[in-house]
Amino acid sequence: MQGKNERFHQSLFRYLDKQPIAANLRELQAQIDRFDHIYNTERGHQALPGRITPSQAREATPKATPPRPRPIKRKPNEPLPPAPSPNGRVLDGIRVATIHPNGSIKARGVIFSVSYPMRRKDVFVVYEAAGIMVFDEHGTLIVEHLWPPPGVKYFGNGQPRGPKKKEASPMS
């Protein structure tokens, strides 16, 4: 993989060597953008069939559909949880929720820890009989939680609350 990256940079540098020296970063960026356009849409690629351009190869490939969530299995005699709140945003039967600033969402009166780095982003929440599944905008499963026992109002991710503690450096 490093060889491909080095080969790409070699092509870029050869292109830039043939250009007038850029007076500022804006001109240099314009030259790089022009190279990028040529590299992806005008020149044929020797590794692609018929030496088509990378752009033609990308357009000829059908877009993949996001994965559909798999249902959570529940025990036969387990009661169904209460229905989701009707006031949430719903898209194709899946609730759209925004992750709270602390990295959690609230579902059916329970706060579920999801992902602190994804705070303030929209996610898709699939309600199942046994729990919930949370997916990002690409359809990637972020977290899956079972419904907690009655009375539980917070369901963490198994990690201790608060910032991670730094490891003490060994004394010499």
Domain regions of the chain by residue span: 2-60, 64-161
The fraction of the chain above a pLDDT of 70, given in percent, is 77
Q: Write the pLDDT tens digit of every residue in 99-155.
A: 888 888 888 888 888 888 888 888 888 888 888 888 888 888 888 888 888 888 887
* Token duo for residue 125: 């929440």
pTM for this predicted structure? 0.43
Asked if 15 and 8 touch (Cβ cutoff 8 Å), the reply is no
> What are the backbone dihedrals phi and psi of residue 73, each rounded to the nearest 5 degrees, phi first?
-80, 140
